[in-house]
């Protein structure tokens, strides 16, 4: 069967972003060790911008993501930060 293609004009491209930042070796640590090393780290800010932009100079740079990823425990037992975003698009800040 042939692939059916849309004939309408393309819409603005959107992206799915999935980022996991894990504390190295945390899977093998006790919960107390994990808590001690993650103390005071409630989240991290993740910014994804156009690679040609200088976000300090170009305040209106094209940006894909500017989100705070919360601290979490992953299914594997590791701890760190996770961001899952669907339908994001590059836009001026």
Number of CB atoms found within 10 A of residue 31's CB: 11
pTM here is: 0.74
Is 29 a residue whose pLDDT tops 90? yes
Q: Are 77 and 3 in contact (CB under 8 A)?
A: no
pLDDT tens, position by position, 37-70: 999 999 999 988 888 877 666 666 788 899 999 9
Instruction: State the residue range of the domain holding 26.
Output: 21-92
Number of structural domains, the chain? Answer: 1
Q: For residue 13, is it within any domain?
A: no
Q: For residue 46, is it within any domain?
A: yes
Q: For residue 16, is it within any domain?
A: no
CA-CA-CA-CA torsion sign (26, 28, 30, 31): positive
Q: For residue 75, is it within any domain?
A: yes
Q: Are 31 and 91 in contact (CB under 8 A)?
A: no
Task: Supply the DSSP string of 21-64, one letter for each residue.
Answer: EE-TTGGGS-HHHHHHHHTT--EEEEEEE-TT--TTT-TT-EEE
pLDDT band at 90 (very low <50, low <70, confident <90, very high): confident
């Amino acid at each position: 069967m042939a692939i059916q293609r849309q004939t309408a004009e393309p819409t603005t491209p959107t992206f799915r972003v999935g980022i996991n930042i894990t504390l190295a070796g945390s899977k093998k640590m006790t919960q107390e060790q994990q808590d001690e090393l993650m103390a005071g780290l409630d989240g991290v800010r993740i910014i994804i911008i156009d690679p040609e932009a200088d976000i300090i100079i170009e305040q209106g740079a094209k940006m894909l993501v500017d989100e705070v990823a919360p601290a979490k425990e992953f299914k594997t037992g590791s701890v760190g930060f996770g961001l899952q975003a669907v339908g994001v698009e590059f836009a001026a800040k």
